[in-house]
Chains A and B, each alone.
Chain A
Amino acid sequence: GAGVSQTPSNKVTEKGKYVELRCDPISGHTALYWYRQSLGQGPEFLIYFQGTGAADDSGLPNDRFFAVRPEGSVSTLKIQRTERGDSAVYLCASSLGTSGSGEQYFGPGTRLTVT
């Protein structure tokens, strides 16, 4: 079946602009995660949704970052007033289970470049 998909695959934007990154999880997966991977680093947790609600947003670096999952499926990560330091690969993952205890399946990522 189809895995986790993310769009766009690449996004180049100017400093100060607003961007939206989209994640389509595996059908039926109730848990959804966003991670950010900077060059030479491992993925770093941003936010975790269980259904429509953000169960843990402790990884969001500041209030320029926001994520939604209004219908419990597709999620959008929104970044306002982008900065060059936001340049990274943004990964989405989803998993089965109401407790989010299942294996996390990762998408291909969106490479964001802020110029």
Chain B
Amino acid sequence: AQRVTQPEKLLSVFKGAPVELKCNYSYSGSPELFWYVQYSRQRLQLLLRHISRESIKGFTADLNKGETSFHLKKPFAQEEDSAMYYCALKGHTGFQKLVFGTGTRLLVSP
């Protein structure tokens, strides 16, 4: 079964502090992993995907197959990073649906 776990409902940090949003997954195979973000009053949008191996808005995420994790990290949080973050998985064998975690709300205070 495919499952994505985000253990933290809320993560509150001060501006300039490092951030790590945790994501663990369960999938028997090689999935694609994504982070989606939803800013206040905006639609859900893709932040980054593991196959791109890129940094977006200072965020990075590394797929760790041994630990089945895909944690999202940023060394110095900004107030504009405050949003809802969802980790998502897509299977590799013709099934195109995304399986989402329950999300983590990141709150960056000044």
- Residues of chain A touching chain B, judged by Cβ–Cβ distance below 8 Å, are 3-4, 31, 33, 35, 40-45, 48, 55-56, 58-59, 91, 95, 99-101, 103-109
Contact = CB atoms under 8 A, between A and B. Distances in A.
B97 A56 contact: yes
Contacts, number: 51
Interface of B: 4, 6, 43-46, 49, 86, 88, 95-103
A42 B101 contact: yes
B95 A56 contact: yes
Nearest to B100: A42
A95 B90 CA distance: 14
A108 B97 CA distance: 18
B49 to A, nearest CB: 8
B44 A45 contact: no
